Amino acid sequence: MTSGVAVNGIAMGVFIAFFILVTLVGFFAARWKRGDMSQLHEWGLGGRQFGTVISWFLVGGDFYTAYTVIAVPALVYSVGGYGFFALPYTILVYPFVFAVMPKLWEVCAKHNHVTAADYVEGVFGGKLFPAAIALTGIVATMPYIALQLVGMQVVLRNLGLGGETPLIIAFVVLALYTYASGLRAPAMIAFVKDIMIYIVVIAAVWLIPQKLGGYGAVFDAADKFFNAKSGATGLFLKPSQFPAYASLAFGSALAAFMYPHTMTGVLSAASASTVRKNAIFLPAYTLLLGLIALLGYMAIAAGVHVSVASDVVPALFGAIFPSWFVGFAAAAIAISALVPAAIMSIGAANLVTRNLYRPFASSKVTPEKEASVAKFMSLLVKFGALVFIIFLPTKYAIDLQLLGGVWILQIFPAVVFTLYAKRKPMTIPYLAGWLAGMASGTALAIAQGLKPTVGIGAGQLEVQVYIGLVALAINILVFGVASIGVRSTSPEVPAGTGS
């Protein structure tokens, strides 16, 4: 079944060729850096042996996704400068990674922790709080996987392939090589994906402005376009947008590496030094993201008109480039969906296996059984995301991903604060803070119609602030009050030791 867009044979041929190449790479990955796939740390963390270069591609591959390539230019196309909030967010996140993640890696490697919830279990003990952390990660990740499907769906639709069949085929292939090769598959594919994306973006930012009269003409056209529109959109931010912009960037930066997929990328590194080096070199992706965002302005200058903003990038490429390059760009974006979707499903499967199945269903589970359950759960997670996209409107995935960002931010104190605590952390304050943050964040988001910000203050003093950050502030406040009320009698034990 085809969509309203005519199938371009050349573009389709190039797309299929690169998709087959990536499929072969995915299956070959099991032979690369060979390990015992019956062990969870081998299947789900690549044996913790990825060096600086591999980790750079892997973390970048799961952090900068297909939906990023589609959604960021679409947002800039729709609202102008406000859509660039992703840039300061990715700038802020890497100093945090440099400072915090190597310390977390050392603790997790020492005690064979595979997930953030494993680390929480090592710090606090018990089953319930680690399970709550695991569930938070799982529910925050599911809509994120669905959004990768949305990105691929946009690409396929603009190639002339409508309906669900092509999407199902693509994700069946993804499921099979992820099952067989584990984290090695997306790590290896990330090489291909990132090289292709860099080629696409560099070609776009070099050639498209030349055809449109230069960057001056691009920005001038965008400025006139937004000036003709009513509302808060514009080439530059308005003062009233500053608090929302800054808080979205800051809150997103704090949340970014709490997600299971980014945590999995960090914990798969060969050493703490590898994590630090990646934090130094990963800002190169921020430069790439800034260039990707500019495609929104280029689409305006090129006179691209679409009924759905997410079609902007494919429509722009279709209007400017020859068919073979359109197919190449489509393949690059589609592969950018496969890499993070694979890592996300592995991260979620690790959480289910280690922090739900093992403690509650089979406490004496063997390592082989643990890996087997994780593989099955990775299939189930992908299938759930696919069903979600096929049977529910895309808006639900976007709304739930917004909520997912609010939710995942609430595990920040339990994961980060405990790394620096001088006394053995007490469960009750952290659990109370988590509950308060989850409840308040969910309530505020629903009350705002699932918009990302909420007004703080009154009258002319009211400012819009990211809901996730407000919920985190409530989380920390409740944690602080509960800490004062609950006095620990345990001896001073360094936090994060897993003891």
Does residue 161 carry a pLDDT above 90?
Answer: no
The Cα 461–Cα 467 span in angstroms is 18
Does residue 2 carry a pLDDT above 60?
Answer: no
Does residue 32 carry a pLDDT above 90?
Answer: no
Helix (H), strand (E) counts: the chain: 22, 2
Does residue 499 carry a pLDDT above 60?
Answer: no
Residue 30 lies in a domain: yes
Task: Please give the mean pLDDT across all residues of the chain.
Answer: 86
Residue 498 burial by Cβ neighbours in a 10 Å radius (0-12, 13-18, 19+): middle
pLDDT of residue 230: 67
pLDDT of residue 123: 93
- Provide the residue type at 69 as one letter: V
pLDDT of residue 33: 64
Nearest Cα to 342, choosing from 144, 156, 192?
Answer: 144
Residue 48 lies in a domain: yes
The predicted model gives 164-168 an average pLDDT of 78
The Cα 93–Cα 89 span in angstroms is 6
Does residue 489 carry a pLDDT above 50?
Answer: no
Reported residue count of the chain is 499
CATH number assigned to the domain comprising residue 396? 1.20.1730.10
Distance of CA 305 to the CA centre of its chain: 28
Range of the domain at 339: 9-401
pLDDT of residue 68: 80
Residue 35 lies in a domain: yes
Does residue 154 carry a pLDDT above 90?
Answer: no
Count: domains in the chain: 1
pLDDT band at 458; cut points 50, 70, 90: confident
The predicted model gives 277-301 an average pLDDT of 90
Residue 438 lies in a domain: no
Backbone angles phi, psi at 411, to 5 degrees: -90, -5
94-109 burial by CB neighbour count: b if 16+ within 10 A, else e? beebbebbbebbebbb
Does residue 336 carry a pLDDT above 50?
Answer: yes
Does residue 111 carry a pLDDT above 90?
Answer: yes
Does residue 446 carry a pLDDT above 50?
Answer: yes
pLDDT band at 232; cut points 50, 70, 90: low
Residue 453 lies in a domain: no
pLDDT of residue 473: 96
pLDDT of residue 231: 67
**Per mean pLDDT, which of 32-41, 87-96, 332-341, 380-389 is the most reliable?**
87-96
What is the full DSSP assignment across 30-54?
Answer: GGTT---TTSHHHHHHGGG-B-HHH
pLDDT band at 1; cut points 50, 70, 90: very low
Cα-based angle 50, 56, 62 (whole degrees, multiple of 5): 100
Contact 416, 96 (CB under 8 A): no
Nearest Cα to 141, choosing from 368, 377, 330, 372?
Answer: 377
Does residue 362 carry a pLDDT above 90?
Answer: no
The Cα 273–Cα 469 span in angstroms is 30
The share of the chain scoring above pLDDT 90, in percent, equals 38
What are 402-445's pLDDT values in tens digits? Answer: 889 999 999 999 999 999 988 788 899 999 999 999 999 999 99
Residue 479 lies in a domain: no
Instruction: Give the three-class secondary structure for 25.
Output: helix
Handedness of CA 335, 337, 340, 344 (dihedral sign): negative
The Cα 357–Cα 361 span in angstroms is 5
Contact 316, 149 (CB under 8 A): no
pLDDT of residue 80: 87
Residue 468 lies in a domain: no
pLDDT band at 39; cut points 50, 70, 90: confident
> Count of CB atoms within 10 A of residue 155's CB?
27
**Per mean pLDDT, which of 123-137, 305-319, 355-369, 396-410 is the most reliable?**
123-137
pLDDT of residue 209: 93
The share of the chain scoring above pLDDT 70, in percent, equals 93
Report helix, strand and coil shares of the chain as percent, to nearest 5: 75, 5, 20
Residue 435 lies in a domain: no
Does residue 477 carry a pLDDT above 90?
Answer: yes
Contact 114, 44 (CB under 8 A): yes
